[in-house]
Structure 1
């Protein structure tokens, strides 16, 4: 009984550590690859691992659901991977991890606006508070001069918007399909796109022989794709089944802290505005998701 009670907490800590570490891996990978190469390689590696499972699972998917699952893969995984890579060319990994916590806020917002899901006044208030915190973070000590806002932070917000749309599509149009089947098939469907673009549309293959740090960079992104994407989804889906969606989603509050620790260890610094923004964002996320 003790093991059953402890295991969800162990998995919660593990998934928070994995996802919280993804931003520092992106940062290190950008030393070797440009943003399109990194984002595509990340999803390519995850898709490669999930492909055997996807081939089996697609037989269980009704044909009418395939377009929705493709959207889950393309809009919910591939585009955000590209946006995070572009953002971190100008935004530190610590700040990226904090702004990423907007995901559950956009899940609630888009659910209320387009999917007929109820939003409480507290959720709306939390969303407003969260946006104020994000403004503090992106000002980053620019003395509240609008010209000083780091606009690359909006790439991260755009990615969390994609995540919010993705979650509502799964909830509204794919409720009867197993989460692992959705994950495996969605990545398998975008595998040809990733493979074609990576090997024919980028300089990835040229860097194999010309880039002295290729293996190091490839290793970072392989870990990001296989562990930080494919394995992490497997753990998360099991955590949802073992505990509850609310418990599993609480990793949102831990991920920014892990990202901040990695960033500080790597020499990043946060000023008073950004520290204030971190606190405000986390409060907003909490209020937006409070029952």
Structure 2
């Protein structure tokens, strides 16, 4: 592994491990929230919780932005937080939390592909090889069916494509930030982009769902609410600030290594919660992580 930093090695390791634990635990929190709330309710409240906790950081700074920066931050808020929050929740209605965490590891490869297609970045043979290997792993994961020790590859779980769409959104998000926000600090990008989508999430949550009714009438709603609030505050708001700080403090290679730790945490929580992984799942997991590693390692 690349030397994290000559200036703050301990801090960077703490940030890396903290991010892996927080993001890796996000999928089990989504699972718990879905026991009471619909995917739309969960996604909207996740954004509301994240945007609200960062209001002290976003409100004083938003007045200093020009119209172009605000437009770009609206896009970042949508593709970097808002849309993925709904997609992950929808995916986990039919997909285990552990496998969702593994598929999320494809994000760095989508960053490469989106950058190549829309932002004039170069895609190398190494990137292409990693994409092929990871694609094979995804194909295995979405095809495995319970019924035998090795699984049945005769059907496809289409809900995995919601995760792939979320990873695609993250790919756009990273490239937009890279090319459009050189002058803004990471904390400003995170806080203000969430502020931009907060009103939409709040209006939808209060006027377009049964969220308020469920809080009052549904058994277990309070606990589910706490799970989703933790997901929004820690898994979205604070984690994004930590990650942006890690990117600034350490090397990009070291920061991106969190991608390989998240699935491990997600799988741990899934197995602890009684989720079953077949032999085919393990093959797919190995292929996805190996493909991401090949596609992103530095020569």
Does the alignment reach a TM-score above 0.5? Answer: yes
Superimposed CA distance per residue, residues 199-232 of structure 1 (whole angstroms, 9 cap, x where no aligned partner): 0110001112111211100000000000111111
After TM superposition, the score normalised by the length of structure 1 is 0.96
Q: Which residue of 2 aligns with 1:143?
A: 152
Distance 2:74 2:6 in 1: 40
Query: Deviation of residue 168 (structure 1)?
Result: 0.7
Q: Which residue of 2 aligns with 1:163?
A: 170
After TM superposition, the score normalised by the length of structure 2 is 0.94
The answer on 1:279 being equivalent to 2:283 is no
Query: Deviation of residue 245 (structure 1)?
Result: 2.4
Q: Which residue of 2 aligns with 1:21?
A: 25
Distance 1:206 1:68 in 2: 35
Matched residue of 1:119: which SS?
Answer: coil
Matched residue of 2:114: which SS?
Answer: helix
Distance 1:188 1:19 in 2: 21
Cα RMSD between the aligned structures?
1.4
Query: Deviation of residue 10 (structure 1)?
Result: 1.4
Distance 1:4 1:186 in 2: 28
The answer on 1:218 being equivalent to 2:222 is no
Superimposed CA distance per residue, residues 143-163 of structure 1 (whole angstroms, 9 cap, x where no aligned partner): 332xx1111000000100000
Distance 1:69 1:202 in 2: 26
Q: Which residue of 1 aligns with 2:248?
A: 241
Moved over 4 A (4+): none
Q: Which residue of 2 aligns with 1:110?
A: 114
Contact 2:91–2:163 at 8 Å: present in 1 too? yes
Distance 2:7 2:274 in 1: 38
Q: Which residue of 2 aligns with 1:256?
A: 263
Distance 2:217 2:100 in 1: 30
Higher mean alpha-carbon deviation, 166-175 vs 102-111, is at 166-175
The answer on 1:124 being equivalent to 2:124 is no
Contact 1:57–1:181 at 8 Å: present in 2 too? yes
Higher mean alpha-carbon deviation, 4-13 vs 19-28, is at 4-13
Distance 1:59 1:174 in 2: 16
Query: Deviation of residue 2 (structure 1)?
Result: 9.6
Match for 2:206 among 180, 199, 204? 199
